[in-house]
């Protein structure tokens, strides 16, 4: 039994040597920072780890030895307990070979394979020591800052008899501030209070740049910050700059294009959204509309999905790789989506992103290839498609390269393809009002270019062509917009170039314009479906009691009188501007008029504060500020902008000659 106990001690010694570096190195950070409690805590951990390891070795040492030493024949358990004579015989055999079989390198290798080095515990010890060290280093800095911190507000009231308190709205999360008079930046709708702590002091007033006057006494003077102002107390000015609540900003990160064309082999589509707000985002939703069908047979399916919130309430970053089955898209479908976000303001701002389009092209089929992109005309069955013309041309080029084809065969096939191209060109030309030709002023009419139409007749035609409006032109008789006509003209031009090359027996030269014509036809086909959001227009209800009564109240025209101005300068402001140009007295209640005019017509905060400062300077009797205030009032009026309106005026040849100067 002593030999069995000896092997257990050897396994335990190997396990301890495996774990010893962790126990020693883990204590070094606490020794470096000289932390007694940390060293005690690590010692307690080492004792606990030692006990756990001891119990584990006592239970698992036999399986460890059997796995590491094949000579033990999976009988290591007999070294500790051999109840039967056969077991005792096997035990004696193992004890006889144990010294030669179980070596110290084998035991160390066994310990390395069965016991981990404990790197996570070591990392935790280092991080904990670093945290304790940083906390200890920050404490002296905090005490130094506390020593250098200005004295409390109440202690400075001997020289400053007023304090300013701000109470921002709760939804902003901005902490209230209590300070001595100084420049401040506060969120919009912040409650600003001026409080005098000594009620026995003489009554003083606080003048704001917007014309308001506050008298803090036993109760604090209150003002809700809706615009940037400065206030004056004891001859000094302090600015309160209001930070307006901005609406959320929505950025679509995927797809990167407004209209994303998916590949024919695509199995999914990516969407990515970034939403940011200055305070918090209350709600964000993704709206998707799936369009299926074509022509008048289009069906729309709407879906709405909330975007999850993240750890930061000020932003939401969302992305997802959709599969086409999740989106419900099939070949030929289009998916329109946009994002709507609402912040947490008292009056919430709701914004909506532009609409993005995911388009999955339909499979190329002969029926779709033969479509002329204009479903209102029926195509003859014998008309070839542009794609088939390209296939025939490519086959002809390949046959000319690989096989010996005769010149007559090349001419016959090339002219046949050219005839098909010409038939297709004439059919598309019908959409521009043409009957048999593409260019009204091209080759088919070149024979007229050499005719002499005469002086007067030709001049009259040129004038009509230059300045007239041709209502009876074939192209103007169609119902298509100008962009569609441009695409049609591009397709017809390419078809004409291809037809000329084919008739010149140059099928290789005809391939590029044939492909250009096919691209233009595809563009027309894709433009067949147009998606627009419905407008939420609700006409006002008709008052039945006023019908057929002849009451004309409210039916007057809203058009202004000819030569009148939409915006006039009030009489009191005009008189004030005139009075400021001299040193004379100013009109009564001029400060109210000036404040109202500046607040209404000057939107920039810095400019409005400068104009309000000029008002206070003029009110204090500073003559040098009068030109400044006069300039601000004129700037608010748009600096004399002139409204131009057309007026009818008859000009005779005699008046024109008099104005231009008669020749001498």
**3-state SS track over 501-547:** HHHCCCHHHHHHHHHHHHHHHHHHHHCCCCCCCCCCCCCCCCCHHHC
Task: Give the pLDDT confidence score for residue 336 in this predicted structure.
Answer: 94
Supply the DSSP symbol for 297: -
d(CA 376, CA 383): 16
**Residue 225: how many other CB atoms lie within 10 Å:** 20
The residue ranges of the chain whose pLDDT is under 50 are 1, 144-145, 148-159, 366-382, 435-461, 463-464, 466-472, 474-475, 477, 530-532, 535, 558, 560-565, 640-646, 664
Indicate the Cα dihedral angle 389, 395, 396, 397, nearest 10°. 110
Report pLDDT for 72: 59
Helix (H, G, I), strand (E, B) or coil at 2: helix
* Cβ–Cβ under 8 Å, residues 214 and 238: no
| Mean pLDDT score of the chain | 75
CA neighbor of 488 nearest in space, from 380, 373, 361: 373
State the sign of the Cα–Cα–Cα–Cα dihedral 329, 330, 331, 332: negative
Block residue for tokens 């962790």: 22
Nearest Cα residue to 66 out of 38, 85, 94:
94
Report pTM.
Answer: 0.46
Distance (Å, whole) CA 472 – CA 402? 52
Q: What is the DSSP letter of 381?
A: T
**What gap in Å lies between CA 290 and CA 617, rounded to an integer?**
64
Q: What is the pLDDT of residue 593?
A: 84
Q: Return the ∠ at Cα 655 (arms to 650 and 660), rounded to 5°.
A: 125
Q: What is the spatial distance between Cα 379 and Cα 368, in angstroms, rounded to a whole number?
A: 12
| Pairing, β 236-243 against β 184-187 | parallel
Coil, strand or helix: which one is 352? Answer: strand
- Beta pairing, strands 268-276 & 315-323: antiparallel
Closest CA to 573 of 589, 603, 593, 601: 593
At 139 the pLDDT is: 58
Nearest in space to 17 (alpha carbons), one of 135, 78, 96, 107: 107
Model pLDDT, residue 83: 56
Quote the pLDDT of residue 269: 93
C-alpha distances in Å from residue 92, one per residue of 62, 80, 89, 367: 16, 12, 5, 92
Query: Which tokens is 584 given?
Result: 């004379």
Q: CA 493, CA 133: separation in Å to the nearest integer?
A: 80
Give the tens place of pLDDT for each residue, 454-503. 444 444 445 445 444 444 454 454 556 677 788 888 999 999 999 999 99
Contacts of 473 (CB under 8 A, 6+ apart): 433
Strands (E), 104-214: 163-167, 177-179, 184-187, 190-195, 206-208, 213-214
What per-residue confidence (pLDDT) applies to 651? 65
Cα(406)–Cα(411) distance, rounded to whole angstroms?
9
d(Cα 318, Cα 252) in Å, to the nearest integer? 10
| Range list of β-strands (E), 324-449 | 334-343, 350-352, 356-359
Cβ atoms of 371 and 426 within 8 Å: the answer is: no
Q: Which of 205, 203, 159, 198 is nearest to 180 (CA)?
A: 159
In terms of Cβ atoms closer than 10 Å to its own Cβ (0-12, 13-18, 19+), residue 141 is exposed
| Cβ atoms within 10 Å, residue 335 | 26
Read off the tokens for 294: 């074509």
- Tokens 């193992």 correspond to what residue? 94
pLDDT of residue 56: 78
Q: Specify the pLDDT at position 275.
A: 95
Residue 36's pLDDT is: 80
3-class DSSP state of 293: coil
List the structure tokens of 280. Answer: 């918090």
Query: Which three-class secondary structure state does DSSP give residue 265?
Result: coil
337 alpha carbon, distance to own chain's centre: 13
57 within 8 A of 115, measured Cβ to Cβ: no
pLDDT in tens, 420-433: 999 888 888 887 76
Please tell me whether the peptide bond between 255 and the residue prior to it is cis, using omega within 30 degrees of 0.
yes
CB 431 within 8 A of CB 491: no
The per-residue pLDDT for 34 is: 77
Kind and range of the H or E run holding 46: helix 36-68
C-alpha 218: how far from chain center? 51
Cβ count near 196 (within 10 Å): 21
| Buried-state track 239-248, b at ≥16 Cβ within 10 A, e below 16 | bbbbbebebb
CB 317 within 8 Å of CB 221: no
CB atoms within 10 A of CB 102: 21
Q: Which long-range contacts (CB under 8 A, 24 or more apart) does 350-356 make?
A: 350/247, 351/247, 351/248, 351/249, 351/250, 352/250, 353/250, 353/252, 353/273, 354/252, 354/258, 355/258, 355/531, 355/533, 356/252, 356/255, 356/257, 356/258, 356/259, 356/260
* Residue 102 pLDDT: 64
Alpha carbons 229 and 242: distance in angstroms, whole number: 8
Task: Tell me the two tokens of residue 159.
Answer: 């020289």
CB neighbour list of residue 421: distance below 8 Å, 6 or more residues apart: 389, 495, 498, 499, 502, 510, 514
Q: Quick one: how far is CA 621 from the chain centroid?
A: 52
Q: Are 96 and 71 in contact (CB under 8 A)?
A: no
Two tokens at 141?
């800095």
Backbone φ and ψ of 204, nearest 5°: -125, 160
């Amino acid at each position: 039994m002593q030999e069995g106990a000896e092997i257990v001690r050897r396994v335990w010694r190997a396990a301890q040597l495996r774990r010893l570096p962790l126990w020693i190195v883990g204590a070094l950070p606490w020794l470096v920072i000289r932390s007694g409690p940390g060293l005690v805590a690590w010692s307690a951990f080492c004792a606990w780890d030692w006990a756990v390891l001891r119990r584990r070795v006592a239970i698992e040492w036999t399986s460890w030895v059997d796995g590491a030493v094949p000579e033990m024949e999976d009988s290591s358990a007999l070294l500790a307990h051999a109840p039967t004579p056969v077991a005792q015989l096997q035990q004696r055999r193992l004890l006889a070979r144990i010294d030669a079989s179980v070596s110290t390198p084998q035991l160390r290798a066994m310990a390395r394979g069965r016991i981990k080095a404990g790197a996570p515990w070591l990392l935790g010890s280092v991080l904990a020591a670093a945290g304790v060290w940083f906390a200890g280093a920050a404490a002296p800095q905090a005490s130094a800052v506390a020593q250098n911190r200005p004295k409390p507000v109440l202690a400075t009231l001997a020289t400053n008899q007023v304090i300013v308190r701000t109470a921002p709205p709760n939804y902003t999360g901005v902490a209230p501030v209590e300070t001595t008079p100084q420049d401040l930046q506060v969120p919009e709708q912040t409650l600003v209070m001026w409080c005098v702590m000594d009620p026995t002091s003489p009554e003083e007033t606080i003048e704001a740049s917007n014309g308001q006057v506050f008298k803090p006494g036993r109760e604090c003077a209150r003002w809700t910050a809706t615009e940037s102002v400065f206030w004056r107390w004891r001859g000094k000015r302090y600015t309160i700059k209001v930070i307006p609540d901005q609406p959320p900003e929505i950025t679509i990160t995927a797809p990167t294009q407004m209209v994303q064309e998916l590949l024919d082999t695509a199995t999914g589509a990516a969407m990515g959204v970034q939403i940011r707000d200055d305070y918090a985002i209350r709600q964000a939703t993704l709206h998707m509309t799936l369009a299926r069908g074509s022509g008048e047979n289009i069906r729309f399916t709407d879906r709405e999905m909330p975007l999850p919130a993240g750890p930061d309430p000020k932003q939401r970053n969302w992305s997802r790789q959709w599969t086409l089955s999740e989106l419900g898209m099939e070949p030929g479908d289009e998916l329109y989506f946009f994002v709507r976000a609402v912040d947490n303001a008292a009056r919430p701002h709701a914004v909506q992103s532009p609409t993005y389009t995911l388009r999955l092209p339909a499979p190329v089929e002969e029926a779709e290839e033969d479509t002329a992109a204009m479903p209102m005309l029926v195509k003859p069955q014998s008309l070839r498609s542009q794609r088939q013309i390209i296939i025939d041309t490519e086959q002809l080029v390949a046959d000319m390269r690989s096989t010996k084809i005769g010149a007559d065969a090349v001419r016959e096939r090339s002219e046949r393809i050219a005839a098909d191209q010409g038939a297709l060109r004439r059919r598309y030309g019908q959409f521009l009002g043409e009957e048999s030709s593409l260019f009204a002023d091209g080759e088919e009419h070149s024979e007229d270019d050499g005719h002499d139409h005469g002086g007067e007749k030709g001049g009259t035609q040129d004038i009509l062509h230059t300045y007239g409006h041709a209502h009876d032109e074939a192209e103007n008789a169609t119902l298509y917009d100008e962009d569609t006509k441009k695409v049609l003209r591009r397709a017809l031009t390419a078809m004409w170039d291809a037809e000329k090359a084919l008739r010149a027996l140059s099928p290789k030269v005809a391939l590029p314009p044939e492909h250009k014509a096919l691209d233009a036809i595809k563009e027309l086909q894709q433009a067949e479906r147009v998606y627009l959001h419905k407008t939420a227009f609700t006409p006002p209800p008709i008052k039945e009691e006023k019908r057929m009564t002849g009451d004309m109240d409210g039916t007057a025209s809203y058009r202004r009188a000819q030569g009148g101005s939409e915006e006039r300068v009030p009489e009191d402001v005009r008189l004030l501007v005139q009075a400021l140009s001299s040193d004379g007295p100013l009109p009564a209640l001029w400060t109210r008029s000036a404040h109202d005019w500046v607040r209404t017509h000057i939107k920039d905060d810095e400019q409005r504060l400068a104009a309000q400062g000029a008002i206070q300077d003029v009110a204090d009797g500073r003559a040098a500020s009068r030109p400044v205030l006069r300039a601000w009032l004129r700037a608010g009026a748009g600096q004399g902008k002139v409204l131009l309106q057309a007026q009818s005026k008859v000009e005779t040849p005699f008046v024109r000659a008099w104005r231009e100067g008669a020749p001498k």
